[in-house]
Amino acid sequence: MQLPFRHSATGATIFSVMSSLASEYNAINLSQGFPDFPLEPELAALLHEAATGNFNQYAPMAGLPVLREAIARDLFNRYSVQLNSDSEVTVTPGATYAIYTAFTSILSPGDEVIVLEPAYDSYIPNIEMNGARAVCVSLVAPEFAVDWNTVRDAITAKTRAIIVNTPHNPTGAVWSAEDWNQLSALVRDTDIIVISDEVYEQLIFDKRKHHSVLEHPELRQRSFAVYSFGKVFNNTGWKMGYVIAPEKLTNIFRHVHQFISFSVNSPAQYAIAKYLEMPSRPDVGDVMEGKRDLFLG
């Protein structure tokens, strides 16, 4: 029986390989993005409250309203952006799912997507599974900065999207406001869509600032911004994320999402919504920075 092979990646993902080796040799696992400390008791209690309450059936396709509203308030507090929680916020089963669904909603066979390398290993298979082609542009070591002239040269009539990632996995490079200005200038007179992977937004060290695509009004109108709760709440196994996009892009995203996942874990949504309302939470960036300093010092 001949079966289709949907992408060029071979074998298991590098994360599966390295995590298996870490387990086999009882080694510290530095390959996969999950923390080694427990869930906050308050969040665990909220999950118990949801599971023993009335939050065990399907949630609305876009996510529980209480969570979408909490996300909009949280992003306003952090980035001073006004969001419509009904038409611009969608809850997803993780950020990787959100990225795949964003690609699926916009790509057609023969399209091209610019990928800045090195890159998270799901990007290129996601692109290829949609019949499109990844056009790779190398970041410039040792700072892993973007060479905007090279990006400009990579744009063709077939370029449908560019996926960007800040703070960057795996290098840790952080975009400046000027990087966003450069990207904006490149795509201004095109139909190129931006997918901004910002899952490490709160894992940033040395008092540096994360600049989100949401803070750039012009780019925001053509962008999917993707986030993960797992990275900041120490609950990667819950597979909870969300995507922010203008209404037109949100509509095409949900058009695909409803036939892949439809609904996302209801108890987890309730718990996270209530947790976001708490006046103070541990700063995972500070915790991780302390671990980095211990490891390096």
Q: Two tokens at 24?
A: 């086999």
Collapsing DSSP to helix, strand or coil, 150 comes out as helix
pLDDT in tens, 119-149: 999 999 999 999 999 999 999 999 999 999 9
Spell out a b/e string for 91-110, using b for 16 or more CB atoms within 10 Å of the CB, else e: bbbbbbbbbbbbbbbbbeee
Q: pLDDT band at 3, cuts 50/70/90?
A: low
On whether the CB atoms of residues 264 and 93 are closer than 8 A, the answer is yes
Q: Is the pLDDT higher at 184 or at 10?
A: 184
Q: Which helix (H) or strand (E) holds 266?
A: helix 266-276
Among the listed residues 178, 198, 180, 183, the one whose alpha carbon sits nearest the alpha carbon of residue 244: 198
Q: Give, in degrees to the nearest 5, the angle at Cα 224 between 187 and 156.
A: 30
Among the listed residues 134, 132, 114, 116, the one whose alpha carbon sits nearest the alpha carbon of residue 124: 134
Q: Which helix (H) or strand (E) holds 287?
A: helix 284-296
State the Cα–Cα distance between residues 15 and 17, nearest whole angstrom: 5
What pLDDT is recorded for position 184?
Answer: 98
Phi and psi torsions of 117, nearest 5° = -110, 150
Mean pLDDT of the chain: 94
* Mean pLDDT, rounded, for 190-199: 98
Q: Is the pLDDT higher at 29 or at 209?
A: 209
What pLDDT is recorded for position 267?
Answer: 98
Among the listed residues 140, 194, 199, 192, the one whose alpha carbon sits nearest the alpha carbon of residue 168: 199
**Percentage of the chain with pLDDT > 90?**
80
Which parts of the chain are beta strand (E)?
A: 89-92, 112-117, 133-138, 159-165, 193-197, 223-228, 241-244
What pLDDT is recorded for position 170?
Answer: 92
Cα 292 from chain centroid?
Answer: 22
Domain ranges of the chain: 62-292
pLDDT in tens, 14-32: 777 888 888 899 988 877 7
What pLDDT is recorded for position 2?
Answer: 65
What pLDDT is recorded for position 19?
Answer: 81
**Which residues have CB under 8 Å from 183's CB, separation 6+?**
148, 151, 162, 164, 194, 219
* Mean pLDDT, rounded, for 104-117: 98
pLDDT in tens, 51-102: 999 899 999 999 999 999 999 999 999 999 999 999 999 999 999 999 999 9
**Which residues have CB under 8 Å from 272's CB, separation 6+?**
43, 46, 67, 70, 229, 233, 240
Q: Kind of pairing, strands 241-244 and 89-92?
A: antiparallel
Q: Which helix (H) or strand (E) holds 69?
A: helix 65-79
Q: Which helix (H) or strand (E) holds 185?
A: helix 177-187
**Percentage of the chain with pLDDT > 70?**
97
What pLDDT is recorded for position 10?
Answer: 57
Q: Kind of pairing, strands 112-117 and 193-197?
A: unpaired
The region of weakest confidence among 23-37, 88-102, 211-225, 230-244 is 23-37
Could you tell me which CATH class the domain 62-292 is placed in? alpha beta
pTM of the model: 0.93
Among the listed residues 13, 199, 192, the one whose alpha carbon sits nearest the alpha carbon of residue 98: 199
